């Protein structure tokens, strides 16, 4: 029996939303090259999560939007700053200003333990505390991203029917898991993270991932290919480097195979875009960057 969204929610033990609907409070605002840069606080359940929102020049119509999920890379100091400052694994220019100039509203928030949220604790401490409480750090992260989606979709200057997720590495995993969990995501693009965990465990390569990505019981229900399959028939782009230790062929191929089957079974094969780069490690290539931009424009009609 295929894995279901409810199965994922149960496994993740995502904390329930409490209080008022999430909202974005503007802490600071500047305009650079026609793009509005807002330093925001995502206010949810009595807490404030720092992030950045970039808004394109107004056309008088609600804009398509990207919920950008930042990476890990053992750089806990970067967090949401990746949106405007980039990181070594990504091509230049950074995605935020580039996407905003193409007409997208783009939001990125700090994940627990990253950026402004480093004082909350280390990744290890946060993950262990969550597990002791019968929760998961991954579920907490996805709960925060769901709140960001709520706030983004509620904005009058954003078209709620045209919101996509995008990320590399940890951000890639967040991007397709959130799309699998929430049908409001119209499309998702993820780079350098897609692979089944079972084969990674067999080879020992699962230990290259951070502990944040531990979901107890998942392998009794399915694997990463089954999670991403829940995105079908919505547009999805998967980009992988075949020299990336996180996506070896033994773990990438079975995940891609089941993902293709999910799209084929729904008559939506054209909605799945695959890009593999034979000589590439854990990094974005110029070809990946071009594919992402074309995919988003086609999927969201920017």
Looking up residue 277, the CATH number of its domain turns out to be 3.40.50.1820
The domain tally of the chain equals: 1
Take residue 269 and report the two structure tokens written for it.
Answer: 């094969």
Question: pLDDT for 252-293, tens place per residue?
Answer: 999 999 999 999 999 999 999 999 999 999 999 999 999 999
Percent residues over pLDDT 70 in the chain? 98
Q: How confident is the model at residue 19 (pLDDT cuts 50, 70, 90)?
A: low
Over residues 45-67, mean pLDDT: 93
Q: Which of 188, 167, 191, 211 is nearest to 79 (CA)?
A: 167
The boundaries of the domain holding residue 259 are: 5-300
Backbone angles phi, psi at 136, to 5 degrees: -135, 145
Q: Answer yes or no: is pLDDT of 21 > 90.
A: no
Q: Answer yes or no: is pLDDT of 106 > 70.
A: yes
What integer pLDDT is reported at residue 157 of this predicted model?
96
Over residues 32-43, mean pLDDT: 94
DSSP code at position 65: E
Question: pLDDT for 197-213, tens place per residue?
Answer: 999 999 999 989 999 99
What integer pLDDT is reported at residue 202 of this predicted model?
95
Sheet containing strand 63-69, edge to edge, reads 23-32, 35-44, 47-55, 105-109, 63-69, 158-168, 187-191, 236-241, 272-277
Question: pLDDT for 115-136, tens place per residue?
Answer: 999 999 999 999 999 999 999 9
In sequence order, the β-bridge partners of residue 30 are 37
Q: Which of 66, 150, 30, 125 is nearest to 117 (CA)?
A: 125
Q: Kindly list the distances between the CA atom of residue 127 and the CA atoms of 113, 116, 118, 186, in Å, as whole numbers in the listed order.
A: 10, 18, 13, 30
Output the average pLDDT for the chain: 96
Decide: 109 and 140 in contact? Cβ < 8 Å. no
């Amino acid at each position: 029996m295929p894995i279901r969204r409810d199965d994922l929610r149960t496994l993740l033990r995502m904390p329930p939303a409490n209080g008022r609907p999430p909202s974005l409070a503007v802490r600071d605002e500047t305009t650079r090259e026609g793009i509005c840069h807002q330093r925001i606080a995502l206010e949810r359940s009595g807490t404030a999560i720092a992030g950045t929102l970039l808004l394109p020049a107004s056309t008088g119509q609600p804009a398509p939007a990207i919920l950008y999920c930042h990476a890990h890379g053992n750089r806990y100091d970067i967090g949401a700053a990746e949106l405007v400052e980039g990181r070594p694994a990504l091509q230049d220019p950074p995605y935020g200003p580039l996407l905003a100039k193409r007409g997208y509203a783009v939001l990125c928030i700090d994940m627990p333990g990253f950026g402004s949220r480093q004082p909350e604790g280390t990744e290890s401490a946060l993950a262990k505390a969550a597990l002791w409480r019968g929760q998961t750090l991954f579920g907490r992260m996805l709960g925060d991203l769901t709140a960001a989606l709520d706030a983004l979709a509620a904005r009058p200057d954003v078209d709620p029917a045209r919101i996509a997720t995008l990320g590399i590495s940890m951000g890639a995993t967040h991007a397709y898991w959130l799309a699998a969990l929430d049908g409001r995501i119209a499309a998702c693009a993820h780079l350098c993270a897609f692979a089944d965990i079972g084969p990674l465990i067999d080879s020992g390569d699962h230990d290259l991932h951070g502990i944040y990505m531990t979901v107890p019981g998942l392998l009794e229900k399915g694997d990463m290919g089954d999670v991403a399959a829940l995105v079908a028939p919505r547009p999805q782009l998967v980009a992988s480097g075949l020299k990336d230790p996180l996506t070896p062929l033994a773990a990438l191929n079975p995940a891609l195979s089941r993902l293709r089957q999910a799209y084929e079974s729904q008559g939506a094969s054209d909605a799945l875009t695959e890009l593999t780069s034979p000589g590439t490690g854990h990094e974005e290539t110029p070809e990946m960057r071009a594919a992402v931009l074309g995919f988003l424009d086609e999927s969201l009609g920017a």
